[in-house]
Amino acid sequence: GCTERDEFGNCCFPWREIECNVAKITTSQHGAQAYAPFISHEHSFFQYKNTEMTIVVTENAQDPIYCLLFWEELVRFMDNKKPLPDVPRYEAVRHLDPVTAEYDAGQAKAGNPRPEVYWRDMSFDQQQEIYKELLEECFELDWFNLEPRDEITAPWQRWTPKPELKDTLNWKYKAKRLGLQLGMGLP
């Protein structure tokens, strides 16, 4: 069985032994179907029983791409030798992760400093444009027969903030954004 355990008594495995399989499942008694990633140890059927997890992907369960994107993000966090992904969600905490802080300092020494508030200087609309562009690239990939693509490690070289798109933070904007967040759950 398990040779290494964490502080809670759970089995620990090298992350490269963990795999993701995507399957279409029935989610209700009425026959609604969705895709779900099944994450398990590569030997879960024989050696490590009860180690499989089924994850609910909230973005769009009708398309397996979102399951694969979830897996890619999870793999990124399992490999603790790489910096955090340079995305808006993690910008405010990049300095708290030692690997990411070291990476950003190395970029600065190499003459390619990461802007401290790169994503916050962008408008929400511009961030959505970038998200849609990257999502279109994901739909074009052959996920199961693919050479790894280069990571986007310096997004400030690919996209520059467009200040003209940034909304002014007046009371109208704040009221509109608050209404969208409360009424429709938008960010």
- DSSP-derived secondary structure letter, 98: H
Cβ pair 61, 25 in contact under 8 A: no
pLDDT at 132: 92
Domain residues for the domain of 186 are 81-187
Same domain membership, residue 113 and residue 34: no
Flag whether pLDDT at 147 surpasses 70.
Answer: no
- Strands 18-26 and 53-54, sheet pairing: unpaired
Q: How do residues 56-104 score in pLDDT, each as one tens digit?
A: 887 777 888 888 888 888 888 777 888 988 888 899 999 999 999 999 9
Note whether 99 and 83 are within 8 A (CB).
Answer: yes
Percent of residues, the chain, with pLDDT higher than 90: 11
Domain termination residue (choose one: 55, 79, 103): 79
Same domain, 93 and 141: yes
